[in-house]
Each structure stands twice: as C-alpha cells, then as structure tokens.
Amino acid sequence: MPGKRRQVAVSGEEPRGDVLVEVKDLKKWFPVTGGVFGRLVGHVKAVDGVSFYIKPGETLGLVGESGCGKTTTGRVILRLLEPTEGAVYFEGANIFDLNREQMRRLRRQMQIVFQDPYSSLNPRMTVGDIVGEALEIHGVARGRSKEKRVRELLDVVGLNPQHIRRYPHEFSGGQRQRIGVARALALNPKLIICDEPVSALDVSIQSQILNLLEDLQAEFNLTYLFIAHNLSVVKHISDRVGVMYLGQVVELGGAEELFANPLHPYTEALLSAIPLPDPELKRDRIILEGDVPSPLNPPSGCHFHTRCRWVQPICRDENPPFVDVGDEHFVACHLRKTREKQ
Amino acid sequence: MTAYIVRRLALMVPLLVGVSLVTFTLLYLVPGDPVQSLVGERATPQMVESIRRELGLDLPLHLRYGRWLARTVRGDLGRSWATHRPVMVSLIDRFPITLKLSVLAFALSTLLGVTVGVATAVREEAGGDHLARWALLGGQSVPIIYLCLVFMYVFGVWLRLTPVSGLGDGSIRYFLLPAGALGLYTSVYKARMTRSAMLEVLRQDYIRTARAKGLSERVVIYRHALKNAMVTVVTVLGAGLSALLVGSVLTETVFGLPGIGKLQIDGVYARDFPVVMGCFLFQAVVLSFTNLAMDMAYAWANPRIRFD
C-alpha cells in the first residue's frame, strides 16, 4: 500500500480553465508476473500519482534519473499507454473518456518526438510518406497538396525539400531528428511531447535541434512537454521544470526559481551534480547514498527518505503532500517548513 | 540491376560444376555395386563384366567424371540404366508434379504461417497466443510421415473427401492431401518466425510513431509492422520454397506422387547414377534460381539494399 492518498494541491474536481493540459493523480503500474502460470507477483509503479499542468505556449521540462517514469508519463499523456488511474485533461476534456474514434481525431492536437531518431522512423517508408501519412489519414491533404505540404515542412525544419523521396537511412542522426520534428508538426498540433529529443545526438547537433524547437515554438505557438535527463538542456529550454523521482513529481516550479532556490533535497542533489564550466570553481556536491530503490516496491512514506540526508521519522510513514509554496512553486517534502526556519 | 543478374547467372556455372563434382565423387564412394543391382543375382561374371565396361564403370573416377561432364554440357543427361529413358525426359515429365505440389503447399503454409504469426504476436501472451504456440510446437515435433498418414486416414479414408493417394488423372483433387500435410508442416516454422519478427518490430518506436499519428490499428499492424517484419520472414519463405521445389521425398513417396523427390529416391535405391546425377544437377539449378529470386525479393522488402 502506498502510504496515505497523496493530496494534490492542483486538484479540485473541475479542470483548470487556463491550461492546455492538466494531469491529475496519474498512475501507471505495470504488472509483473512470474512462475510457470504467470502468477501476478507485483507491480512496477512506473508512474505513481503524478499531477501537473501545462499552460498554452509554454515549455514544461520534466527531469529525473533513468527509470523514474518520465517517458511513461509522456506516453500515458498521449494515451500510447493506458493509465492505471488518474486523468489527463486536454483543453478541459479527459482524454481517457474518449472513444477510439474521438481519440484518433484528438491525435491531430498532440504529437511526440522520440528520443532515438534511428528507431522512430519506419525504415521502409520514404521521408515523404513518413511526414505525409498523417495528413492523408486525417483527411487534411492528399496527392499534390500533400506533397506540397511535406516540402514546406521539410523546409521549416531545415531539410532540403528535394529529399522527399529518400529513405531515413540516407540521413544523419540530426537530420533524422529533424524528420521526426517535421512529422510531429505535420498536423499543426498544439502540444508536442519531446521525449529526450536530443539525448541520442552529438553535442554539436543537440543545440541545433534545441534551437529549431525553440524557433518552431515561437512560430507556431507550440506547447512542449520536454522530457530530459540533462539539467542544463532543461534549464535552457523550459519555462517551468518538474523533477521526478521514483514515479512521482517531487518539485515543480519556474525554471529560474527552481534552479536558484531548490526546495526538495533531491532537487538540491541533482542540481549540485551539474558540471560547472569553470574548473577553478568548486561547489559542494551532494552525493546521494545507495541506489534508486526498486519501483517494484517503493519505500513507504516519502519515496526519497531512504537516501535523504535530512530524513525524519515522519518521512518514513507519510507521503508528503505536493503543495504550492507560492508563485506556482510546488514541492512534496515534510521538512520544507522546518528547514526554512534554520 | 541487369548487370547484377548477369553476374549472378555467370556465377552459377562454377557452382554447378562444384556441386556435380562433389555428388559424383560421393556416388563413386557409395557402397553397393550398381551393376549387381541392375542384372540381379543370377548373372554370370562375364555378363557383369561386359555391362560394367559398357557403362564405363571400369574407368577411374576422373575419366568417368570427364565423360559425364562432356556429355552434360552438350545438354545430354544420359539415359537411366534401369529404364533406358532419357533422364532429361523423366525430369521434364515429373517436375510439373513437384511444382504443383510445391506451389500449393507453399501458398497454404505462407498464408497460414504468416496469419497465425501476426495474430499471435498481436495478442502476445493472451490465451489464444499460448494455445497457438503449443499447437505449433506440436506441429513441428510430429514427423511429416505421420502427418501424411493422419491426413490420409482422416480426409481420405474416414471422411472420404479426397482420394487417399496416387496421382490419378493429375487433377488438383489428388494434390489436396499431400499439399495440405506439407503446407501445415512447413507453416509452423513460418508462423514462429513471423511471430518473433513481429514482436521485434512492434516494440520499435516507429510503431509508437504510427499510433501517435492516429492511424487505425489495422494500418499500424499491416502497413507499418508486417512490412518491416517481412524483411526477416522473406528469408524463411524463400528457403521454404526452394526446399519444396527440389522435391519432397517423404511426402511424394507416402502419397505415391511421381515427382522429382520420388524419382531421386528410386534412383538412389537402384544406384541409377545418371538419374541421381540428373536430379542433383536439376535441384542445384532450381535452388540457384530460387535464391536469385529471393535476393530480388529482399530488395523489394528492404529499401536499404541496392544492387551494384
């Protein structure tokens, strides 16, 4: 049993009006089976009660270690995975209430760019087909007008429109990621989930893709959920940042504010790990002890208590509420108040 | 492309010479005297000796091979020692039977194998998937001869739907049972390969991409996933087709179909060298052409392959 039910500060029964996406108490548990008869032996709690919202036109960064549930969160929001519990409101409507056909239509509004530009493009299709297929399926354009639109899109993402008949393997990693972006843009979506879109690229190419994403956001008024594990990248591109640990968001706030004034001990530790560009500068590194506990059996109370240097008895028993400490800076930590007094 | 095909055809020549050399040597080493099995027990030693000289069996290996090769390149595969029919005529007579059996069995096994493979992959770990996998495992473990006999009994003897065996007038009715047994048997491997290839492909991000585009599940499975899985499956299909085309010795024997497989096995029993050599050579040619066709199919299945 995961502690007490987590209070969600952003909740209230009605979805907020001024946001594009609102995620409410989202859970995704993967069943784990064992033995000859496939007996259920437990659940991997990949996403375990996550709540946040994204406003139109902003970029929300989501950071955390490998396996903390960032990617799963992104996929559940797009309903590429079905949730175990919780709701995702897109423009006020819970997407999990939609039937298959309604969901298919909603996909025009929300798209995804995957981490690996090698495996996310169908090797048997030409660039024109990859980018243009959705246009045809959704009845936006076909034939000539489809090709025209695809050429436009290729141009927008900085590829040569003449390469429309080429196959993905004829492009470099950075170019392939541009194809992925062009594909996501094809239907003029409002939301694009960028699932570690630059992690698989060379550092020199990373900045090109990041700049492209920023330019496109300005041009088409896009909203991004930007999932990454590179803190510098997230700080650079995000308006607000959420920090995930073991399937939960532990802290969320404006990018500047969060990086300047981290309130959760896990955020503190993460930030202290960012390398400084000046070798003369030293900073107190907070080294976390031990490994991330298994999401199969997460610690009781606050999931972070096993590695927290400030741990108190209450942390073991109670899951801390996720509360707004002012200025849309949310944190889930029992010790926030006591530590402020110190 | 044309240059590639020409080169592949040219490469067949040394290949066929190699195959014939190896087979010829093996036949030479096989125990059992062909002349003895030709003339029977009661022949006098003089008779045996004269036949041996007549057939050129008294010559050393390299001379015998040289004579065979010289004749063969002129298009003459010789005559059967047992029946005196030209080997070429036998092959031409019998190949249509093998071809008919192969095409039927291949179509059936591909249809069945790919369908079951896709269905079980899509419903991975569901009850139907488990059931189908056990059934497939069972199918693969049963010897083909047994499967043939079961088919004969059930459909031919019991239900009386089809002729039990033989070629009859050569109509398709006589091919239903052997092609059914052979098709079912060979579909097992195809189903397993299709299933694992599909599972591999369904895990890829581009399948998630396809779903995110809002494509219907059918388009995702067939247009995106299966087309990619076929890159692997085509290999199995090609190998399966060539295995069928060279003649299915067991099935043809059990059902009494006078195809290439039957011709070959009878030739082997009778130590009928010209027939056996003719069969092997013919099979090598068929295999070479099927392989070439298979490589063409690869290029169709995978745009990353270019001929140059």
Q: What is the DSSP string of A204-234?
A: HHHHHHHHHHHHHHHHHT-EEEEE-S-HHHH
Q: ∠ at Cα B307 (B304, B308), nearest 5°?
A: 125
Please state, in angstroms and rounded to a whole number, the distance separating the CA atoms of residues A189 and A178. Answer: 16
Edge-to-edge strand list for the sheet holding A85-90? A39-54, A21-34, A85-90, A93-94
CATH class of B97-301: mainly alpha
Question: In chain B, which residues have their Cβ closer than 8 Å to the Cβ of A183?
Answer: 209, 213
Structure confidence at residue A7 (pLDDT): 45
User: Residues of B with CB below 8 A from A78's CB?
Assistant: 212
* CA A117 to centroid of chain Cα atoms: 17
Strand, helix or coil for residue A249: strand
How far apart CA A270 and CA A292 sit, in angstroms, is 13
Degrees (nearest 5) of the Cα angle A131, A137, A143?
70
- Neighboring chain B residues of A75 at a CB cutoff of 8 Å: 208
Which residues are CB-contacts of B3 (< 8 A; sequence separation ≥ 6)? none
User: How many Å apart are CA B126 and CA B131, to the nearest integer?
Assistant: 9
Q: For residue B192, which amino acid is it?
A: R
pLDDT of residue B307: 66
- pLDDT recorded at residue A12: 47
What's the CA gap between A144 and B21, in Å, rounded? Answer: 60
| Helices first, then strands: H and E counts in chain A | 11, 12
Q: What is the pLDDT of residue A229?
A: 86
Report CB contact under 8 Å: B216, A104.
yes
Q: Which single residue is written with the structure tokens 């082997």?
A: B268
Instruction: Report d(CA A92, CA B101) in Å as an integer.
Output: 63
Give the single-character DSSP code of A35: T
Residues 6+ apart with CB under 8 A from A173: A117, A118, A200, A201, A202, A205
Query: Chain B: which residues have CB within 8 Å of chain A?
Result: 125, 204-206, 208-216, 219, 224, 227-228, 231, 301-304
Nearest CA in chain A to B298: A124
Task: Give the A-side interface with B, CB within 8 Å.
Answer: 38, 75, 78, 80, 103-105, 107-108, 111-112, 114-116, 119-124, 133-134, 137-138, 167, 169, 180, 183
Are the beta carbons of B264 and B98 closer than 8 angstroms?
no
The amino acid that residue A4 corresponds to is K
Distance (Å) of CA A33 to CA A41, B124, B292: 5, 14, 46
Q: Does the pLDDT value for residue B39 go beyond 80?
A: no
Cβ of B94: how many Cβ atoms within 10 Å?
22
Phi then psi for A152, rounded to 5 degrees?
-55, -45
C-alpha separations of B141 from A214, B107, B111, B147 in Å: 59, 22, 21, 10
**Residues B215, A169: C-beta atoms closer than 8 Å:** no
Asked if B180 contacts B153 with a C-beta cutoff of 8 angstroms, the reply is: no
Q: How many CA atoms lie within 13 A of A158 on its CB side?
A: 15
Model ipTM? 0.78
User: Are residues A272 and A287 in contact, defined by beta-carbon separation less than 8 angstroms?
Assistant: no
CA distance B207 to chain A (A): 8
Cβ contact, residue pair A167, B211, below 8 Å: no
Using an 8 Å Cβ cutoff, are A201 and A177 in contact? yes
Nearest of B16, B77, B92, B215 to residue A105 by alpha carbon: B215
* Chain A residues near residue B209 by CB distance under 8 angstroms: 112, 114, 120-122, 180, 183
> What b/e string do you get for A152-173 counting C-beta neighbours within 10 Å, with b at 16 or more?
ebbebbbbebebbebbbeebee
Rounded CA gap, B134 and B138, in Å? Answer: 6
- List all residues 6 or more positions away from B295 whose beta carbon is below 8 Å from its beta carbon: B8
Report pLDDT digits (tens) over B75-132. 899 899 888 899 999 999 999 999 999 999 999 999 999 999 999 898 877 777 888 8
CA distance A255 to A231: 10
Identity (one letter) of the amino acid at A301?
A: G
SS3 B168: coil
Could B214 and A111 be called an inter-chain contact, meaning their C-beta atoms sit closer than 8 Å?
no
Return the DSSP state at A79: T
Q: Give B303→chain A minimum CA distance, Å.
A: 6
For residue A111, what is the nearest residue in chain B, using CA coordinates?
B212
Q: A with B: how many residue pairs have Cβ under 8 Å apart?
A: 67
CA dist., res. A162 & res. A182, Å (int): 15
Are residues B209 and A167, on separate chains, in Cβ contact within 8 Å? no
Ranges of residues in chain A with a pLDDT under 50 are 1-12, 341-342
Q: A137, B227: Cβ pair inside 8 Å?
A: no
Q: Which of B133, B134, B206 to mutate to test the interface with A (most CBs of A within 10 A)?
A: B206
DSSP notation for B190-245: HHHHHHHHHHHHHTSHHHHHHHHTT--HHHIIIIIIIHHHHHHHHHHHHHHHHHHH
CA-wise closest residue to A63 among A326, A265, A244? A244
Q: Please name the residue of chain A whose CA is at the shortest distance from the CA of residue B230.
A: A124
Quick check: A136 and A142 in contact, CB under 8 A?
Answer: yes
Better-scored residue on pLDDT, B279 or A230: B279
Beta strand A330-331 with A248-254 is antiparallel
Q: Which residue type does B97 have?
A: I
Chain B residues whose CB is inside 8 A of the A122 CB are 206, 209-210, 224, 228
**Residue B206: its chain A contacts at CB < 8 A?**
119-123
B125, B204, B215 member nearest A119 (Cβ):
B204
Nearest to B224 among A104, A112, A122 (CB): A122
Q: Give every CB contact of residue B57 below 8 A, 6+ residues apart in sequence.
A: B34, B35, B64
pLDDT digits (tens, 9 = 90+) for B146-201: 988 998 999 988 988 888 888 888 788 899 999 999 999 999 989 989 999 999 99
Whether residue B246 is predicted with pLDDT greater than 90 in this model: the reply is no
pTM higher than the cut 0.80: no
Burial tier of A223 (Cβ tally within 10 Å: 0-12, 13-18, 19+): buried
